[in-house]
Chain A
Amino acid sequence: MSWFDIGPVEALPMRGARRVRTPKGCIAVFRTAEDEVFATAARCPHKGGPLDEGIVHGRKVTCPLHSWVFDLATGEALGEEGRVATYPARIEKGRVLIDLSQLVMRGTA
């Protein structure tokens, strides 16, 4: 596991997201109305829309370009063939941590 501290939880808007830049592409980090955090690849697999700019509802996000809806926990597109990569995320002592070991491995494999 390689957990990264990306900032305080208040930096994430409720029912919103912020973008984190990595050398392997951008990650969208979401915070739901229930104060859960999720991390996914920021690019919609459909046409590359920025998921961090989408509307967050329940544990889902809607891509702003063509309204594909993704389950934030599994990355599965609802009613579509496709999924977006997900990364473990949690809140610890008011800080948001994301685990990018999957991303690192994918990049170096």
Chain B
Amino acid sequence: MNTKTERLVVIGAGMASGRLLEHLTEEARGAFDITLFNAEPRGNYNRIMLSPVLSGDSTWEEIVIHDDAWYAERGITCRFGEHVIAIDRKRKVAVGQKGEVPYDRLVIATGAAPFILPIAGNDMPGVLTYRDLDDTNAMIAAAGKGGSAVVIGGGLLGLEAAAGLKARGMDVTVVHLMGHLMERQLDEAAGYLLEKDLEARGIRVLTRAATKAIIGKGHVEAVILEDGRILPADLVVMATGIRPETRLAVDAGLEVERGIVVDARMITSDPAILALGECVEFEGHLFGLVAPLYEQARVAADTLMGRESRYVVREVATRLKVTGVDLFSAGDFAEGEGREDIVYRDPGRGIYKRLVVEDDRLIGVVMYGDTADGNWFFDLIRDRTPIDEMRDNLIFGPAAAEGGAAADPLSAVAALPPEAEICGCNGVCKGKIVAAIEGGAHDLAAVRAATRASASCGSCSGLVEQLLELTLGDAFEAPAAEPICGCTDLTHEEVRRLIRATPLKSQEAVWQELGWKTRNGCHICRPAINYYLLAEWPLEYRDDPRSRFVNERRHANIQKDGTFSVVPRMWGGLTTPAELRAIADVAERYDIPAVKVTGGQRIDLLGVRAEDLPRVWADLNAAGLVSGHAYSKGLRTVKTCVGSDWCRFGTQDSTGLGVRLEKVLWGAWTPHKVKLGVSGCPRNCAEATCKDVGIVCVESGYQIGVGGAAGMEVKATELLAQVATEDEVVEIVTAFIQLYRENARYLHRPYKWLETVGLDWVKARVVDDPDERRRLVERFEISQSVYRKDPWAEQVAAHADEFAPLAEIRMEAAE
């Protein structure tokens, strides 16, 4: 019938060649006499969906793409379960295990093979790879016996295997060579969130862990790491990457680099032979995700049908198929010259989004926790859409960026779907909040009571207020004064005034006299009351550790794994060889896993066990080092540049002034943390102009700026005063800090406080009125007579035994 029927042999029935066959049989039916070889004893199935099969969320039947009927209907001769041993290019035949098949044109689609680590024991029973249905079934069978599984490789496949095995009830450990998971698809921040999420699901993750050997007697028993750790294992899954399957092509003498080299028409070095999919290399690229494979199938089909078509490498996007883990990445997100990041973080909700912008175009995106807008960003990358117009709201997604009045936050909130989460701490969605408002909750406190939205960290209070405004319209009035918390109807300012005027000198007095509704407050009001009392009555009221958050009670910063970080004070950022030696000795002596230089010019020792803290402090104290208060709502650091001592531009001794200020201010509790900077000239190397208090030295003296910020908000300092001498600087800064201590609301940084009282009000007291300034300094000094001392030494002396568990119980005793 068709005289021009061409004999086409396809080696490999994976997803790429499957798509190719679809194109050919739909668009040129009868033009090809097709023979399809497949080493696996089955046809084309959706390999990407093996993970849901492994976890039990899906079945084999559901992931078959082409069944026997499909092939039969299209007249494709299937030789499944049969390996092709050789390609004889001279005679144009493919040599199968069961006989030769002649071809006019041949397609190699042999895919990729798992990379097997060259280590002892890699072929032992119980060691599997994760590539095809047989591997998946073997894993399901092994998981049925329970026990422990070790997955080597924390990439896409490895993590999906880990999650699947966990879902089937195994104890799973992932061993990953690199510093963070999925390093090819994710940046460090998203990798960290992923690790945290997996660990919360009970999957242990070991990064920077190299596998040395697999051991066992007749069956795998354990994995040994390079650092000597031994991980018991009943099953080991190697997911350390894939390598293009090129053996046939190499034997046939085709050009092969890492993969089979093809041109843009998918033709190999032999014009009668095409190749596509994971086995090919094009312009130096290898391929592992399905999107480019499908594009190659389109091009290969066109080439075979005599149409002009060229393959171009395009950006690919990655999603991880682990139930409940939301992760999306696309494009290029390496840092580089001329590239800018737009980052959104909401640690409470585990959300992280990072956009990489270059030349006014989006070139990369990494999203974790909320990937709803992933495809929209991906389109912007692929289409190279200019983003200048929508840059301000870009990270909030299409609704905010394209929704007309781009800068209006209300429209962004209005565009959110009812299921959008507003309060991450308590998992409250927009629909629930709107329903509560419609049900009569007409202010923030009522919404909190009804839904708990914004009742924890409070960072979504603004969003909730916007929802109130949207739902109630003009009927909504922003509340003038908010009570501290549900324990009282009084505001911070009222409580403070009453503590001063009544006077109230103990927590018990506050609860009783002011009619607290709870026995002894809550985690919101008690730290505030504790601060107000100690700031007002430094000699009469004792700071109450039980009303402080964990970091301030433990004098160290708690980390996600329950260990702590320790930062010794380095006055003005100056240190000595002896101090550095002492820090190094401590780090080694207590196996402290990480040592980092902080943004405030100090050294951070991370990963200290709680029970080691007293000994770490004692050793640091012995070398003259004291607490750096990196954990406190108090003076953190005074950052300095080297100033006139060393710098050819330095106008004053900025280092000396920084040290002097730090020695005056350290140890004082303040409403929130306080950071200082002293720069020796207007080049501002100490970045003083974004600090709570920043001094910039000039030829004629010192400019004192206040109210800077470089956290969630970024603000430059405003000039409080310019003075001629160091003594004046110290006096004005001290008076400013005391005024802040006496007047700011708890948890307000100086810039927040200045927004409420105004800079002029502050100037009138600490600059224009020398008597008032002196009184402020005197009151500060009275308070410092109590608090200017090292809390570490105090803890070591009086409370060292409280850092270890109170008791250790062995169960045998109970039975």
Contacts and interface: CB of A to CB of B under 8 A. Distances in A.
Interface of A: 2, 4, 6-7, 11-16, 18-24, 26-27, 29, 33-34, 47-48, 50, 53-58, 60, 62, 64, 66-69, 79-80, 100-101, 104, 107
Contact of A29 (B521, B546, B806, B813): B806
Of listed B521, B546, B809, B810, residue having the most chain A CB within 10 A: B809
B200 A69 contact: no
B806 A54 contact: no
B550 A4 contact: no
A61 to B, nearest CB: 9
Contact of A104 (B546, B548, B811): B811
Nearest to A15: B546
Contacts of A53: 550, 553-554, 558
A7 B807 contact: yes
Contacts, number: 110
B349 to A, nearest CB: 10
Of listed B545, B546, B547, residue having the most chain A CB within 10 A: B546
A1 to B, nearest CB: 10
The 8 tightest CB contacts between A and B, nearest first, are: A62-B523, A18-B806, A53-B550, A2-B814, A6-B807, A58-B519, A64-B550, A15-B546
Interface in B401-434: 425-426
A58 B518 contact: yes
B200 A66 contact: no
Given A55-B546, A101-B814, A104-B814, A64 B558 contact: yes
Contact of A67 (B523, B811, B815): B523
Contacts of A47: 200
A86 B260 CA distance: 63
Contact of A4 (B457, B523, B807): B807
Contacts of A24: 811
Contacts of A34: 519
B805 A23 contact: no
A55 B807 contact: no
B101 to A, nearest CB: 59
Given A57-B520, A58-B520, 10 more contacts: A4-B807, A6-B806, A13-B546, A22-B810, A55-B549, A57-B521, A66-B456, A67-B523, A101-B814, A107-B811
B809 A79 contact: no
B373 interface: no
A100 B814 CA distance: 8
B527 A55 contact: yes
Interface in B421-479: 425-426, 452, 455-457
Contacts of A19: 805-806
Contact of B426 (A14, A18, A79): A79
Contacts of A60: 522
A50 B806 contact: no
Contacts of B99: none
A21 B809 contact: yes
B720 to A, nearest CB: 35
Contact of B808 (A15, A20, A55, A107): A20
A23 B549 contact: no
A66 B348 contact: yes
8 contacts: A4-B813, A7-B806, A27-B809, A57-B522, A62-B523, A67-B457, A69-B523, A104-B811
Please report whether the interface of chain B is mostly helix, strand, loop or mixed according to DSSP: loop
Contacts of A54: 523, 550
Contact of A50 (B456, B562, B810, B811): B562
A14 B553 contact: no
Of listed A27, A56, A57, A69, residue having the most chain B CB within 10 A: A57
B808 A4 contact: no
Nearest to A107: B811
A12 B807 CA distance: 11
Contact of B425 (A2, A4, A29, A66): A66
Contact of B452 (A15, A29, A79, A101): A79
Interface string B197-226: 000100000000000000000000000000
Contacts of A27: 809
B200 A20 contact: no
Interface string B777-809: 000000000000000000000000010011111
A104 B813 CA distance: 11
A66 B553 CA distance: 17
B815 to A, nearest CB: 7
Given A21-B805, A56-B546, A79-B455, A15 B814 contact: no
B527 A4 contact: no
B526 interface: yes
Given A11-B806, A18-B802, A20-B805, A57 B518 contact: yes
Contact of B520 (A6, A23, A33, A62): A33
Given A66-B348, A69-B523, A79-B455, A48 B811 contact: no
Contacts of B455: 79
A19 B520 CA distance: 23
B241 to A, nearest CB: 32
Given A4-B809, A20-B805, A55 B457 contact: no
A9 B815 CA distance: 25
A27 to B, nearest CB: 8
B6 to A, nearest CB: 61
Contacts of A62: 522-523
A92 to B, nearest CB: 15
B303 to A, nearest CB: 53
Contacts of B548: 55
